[in-house]
């Protein structure tokens, strides 16, 4: 007999009743883990499972590909970041995310001993892969690069704090001495040794030398030290205090302390600021370059100056960083070229003394500090003047800004009929 069809409204009402009943049951009886799992599976669409490969890996690459965790396969020469897992008296173990830990031992341990003393478990460090594996299957690592970076940082800090560093003399060259410290080479210029070692630098070879760092440039591998900043520290401090009391333009009386082909050194006594009842002076040496001796051209300073001679100088520049003091003697008088335009307009006939003969002409001193040139084309053949001759010249062209004066010889007229 055919099944009677239910009224659609009745079907909808039955579904509603079942759904409501289910909710009531869930309130009383919580879902078990098994029921939850079955319901989630029921909710997901059925997907045809892919057939998994059962082939066993035949190489390291296939083995690593078969595991879910990605392992690092280091190569010799790689620079990696790792975490220190243990520090012993003979080795450092580092986790570099490989199949085994890396180890710093033997020569590499000894080379980075100072750096290793600062390490502790959990530190993240940079390591260099020196060898893939040792006989224990451990990857051999090196900390030399990390140790080197730390040393450069220490040098920078020492320069800022003024800390003393001990180096050892390795080689001598024209500029000074190459020194070594903690596997790094540096340089001590000759000018940075105290006076007691000038000309005796060979006595410092292969000996410990106390120095201070005065320049650090890791990128250019430039490390400069100073020995005199240690042995002459008090003198340098006194010099710095003296420099602070000197002003550009100040005139001092001093004594010549040295005569060189390029200039003279002058020793000055400068009053130092302090308590009124305490009179103190600072001694400092400055240089008068040969170009600042006189407005006139100077050929030989040894004929003009002797050590101990008293001179008056004017301060030109002060370099607090290097402690250099540049002085002048000619600036104590006015520049003669500042008034030549008024004294010697074009066409003026004046007397001068031949000061120098050159292939292109004759130089004539018109007054101290002012020389003019007679071009060789204007010197009559057979009548070439000699150094020291006094002659009459005419100003053809004057260029004060360029400090140039063009001259011509004034020929003496011979009266007619004279025999």
CATH code, domain with 205: 2.40.50.140
* 71 inside domain: no
> Do both 350 and 325 map to the same domain?
no
DSSP reduced 3-state for 374:
strand
Query: Between 323 and 109, where is the model more confident?
Result: 109
pLDDT at 25: 44
* 30 inside domain: no
What total number of domains does the chain contain?
Answer: 4
- Looking at 115, 142, 169, the residue that finishes a domain is 142
* 34 inside domain: no
Q: pLDDT tens-digit profile of 217-265?
A: 988 889 999 999 999 888 888 888 888 888 899 999 999 999 999 999 9
* 283 inside domain: yes
Q: pLDDT tens-digit profile of 354-382?
A: 998 999 999 999 998 899 999 999 988 88
> Do both 250 and 308 map to the same domain?
yes
> Do both 188 and 255 map to the same domain?
no
Per-residue pLDDT at 50 exceeds 50: no
> Do both 309 and 341 map to the same domain?
no
> Do both 389 and 346 map to the same domain?
yes
> Do both 162 and 208 map to the same domain?
yes
* 249 inside domain: yes
- Looking at 313, 332, 351, the residue that finishes a domain is 332
As a whole number, mean pLDDT of residues 19-47 equals 47
- Looking at 304, 332, 360, the residue that finishes a domain is 332
CB-based contacts of 94: which residues, under 8 Å, 6+ apart?
82, 83, 84, 85, 101, 102, 103, 104, 125, 127, 141
Q: Name the E strands within 247-360.
A: 251-260, 263-271, 281-289, 310-319, 324-328, 349-358
Mean pLDDT lowest among 40-54, 88-102, 302-316: 40-54
> Do both 281 and 324 map to the same domain?
yes
pLDDT at 130: 86
Interatomic CA distance for residues 419 and 417, integer angstroms: 6
> Do both 299 and 355 map to the same domain?
no
> Do both 343 and 398 map to the same domain?
yes
Q: pLDDT tens-digit profile of 137-173?
A: 788 898 877 778 778 888 999 999 999 999 999 999 9
> Do both 109 and 170 map to the same domain?
no
Check the CA dihedral 105-107-110-115 and report its sign: negative
* 5 inside domain: no
> Do both 213 and 261 map to the same domain?
no
As a whole number, mean pLDDT of residues 255-284 equals 80
pLDDT at 166: 94
Q: What is the pTM of this model?
A: 0.50
Per-residue pLDDT at 7 exceeds 70: no
* 183 inside domain: yes
pLDDT at 163: 93
Helices (H) and strands (E) in the chain, counts: 9, 20
Structural domain for 120, as ranges? 81-142
| Alpha-carbon Rg for the chain in angstroms | 45
* 94 inside domain: yes
Interatomic CA distance for residues 28 and 311, integer angstroms: 114
pLDDT at 43: 47
> Do both 132 and 158 map to the same domain?
no
């Amino acid at each position: 007999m055919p099944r009677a069809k239910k009224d659609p409204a009745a079907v909808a009402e039955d579904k509603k009743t079942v759904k409501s009943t289910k909710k009531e049951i869930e309130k009383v009886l919580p879902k078990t883990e098994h029921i939850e799992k079955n319901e989630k599976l029921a909710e997901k669409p059925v997907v045809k499972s892919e057939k998994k490969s059962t082939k066993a890996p035949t190489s390291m690459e296939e083995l690593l590909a078969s595991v879910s965790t990605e392992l690092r396969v280091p190569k010799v020469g790689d620079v990696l970041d790792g975490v220190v897992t243990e520090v012993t008296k003979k080795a450092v173990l580092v986790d570099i995310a490989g199949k085994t830990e890396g180890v710093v031992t033997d020569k590499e341990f000894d080379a980075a001993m100072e750096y290793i003393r600062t390490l502790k478990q959990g530190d993240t460090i940079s390591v260099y892969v020196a060898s893939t594996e040792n006989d224990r299957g451990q990857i051999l690592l090196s900390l030399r690069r990390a140790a080197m970076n730390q040393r450069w940082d220490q040098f920078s800090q020492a320069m800022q704090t003024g800390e003393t560093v001990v180096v050892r003399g390795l080689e001598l060259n024209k500029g000074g001495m190459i020194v070594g410290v903690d596997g790094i080479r540096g340089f001590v210029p000759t000018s940075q040794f105290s006076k007691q070692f000038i000309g005796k630098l060979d006595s410092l070879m292969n000996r410990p030398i106390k120095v201070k760092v005065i320049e650090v440039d890791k990128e250019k591998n430039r490390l400069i030290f100073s020995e005199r900043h240690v042995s002459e520290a008090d003198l340098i401090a006194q010099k710095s205090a003296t420099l602070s009391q000197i002003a550009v333009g100040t005139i001092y009386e001093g004594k010549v302390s040295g005569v060189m082909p390029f200039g003279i050194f002058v020793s000055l006594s400068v009053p130092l600021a302090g308590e009124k009842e305490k009179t103190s002076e600072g001694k400092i040496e400055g240089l008068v370059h040969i170009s600042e001796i006189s407005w006139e051209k100077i050929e030989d300073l040894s004929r003009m100056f002797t050590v101990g001679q008293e001179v008056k100088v004017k301060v030109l520049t002060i370099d607090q960083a290097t402690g250099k003091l540049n002085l002048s003697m000619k600036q104590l008088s006015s520049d003669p070229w500042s008034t030549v335009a008024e004294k010697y307009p074009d066409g003026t006939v004046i007397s001068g003394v031949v000061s120098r003969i050159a292939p292109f002409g004759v130089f004539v001193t018109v007054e101290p500090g002012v020389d003019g040139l007679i071009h060789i084309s204007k010197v009559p053949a057979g009548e070439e003047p000699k150094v020291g001759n006094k002659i009459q010249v005419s100003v053809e062209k004057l260029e004060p800004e360029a400090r140039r004066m063009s001259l011509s010889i004034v020929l003496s007229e011979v009266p007619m009929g004279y025999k």
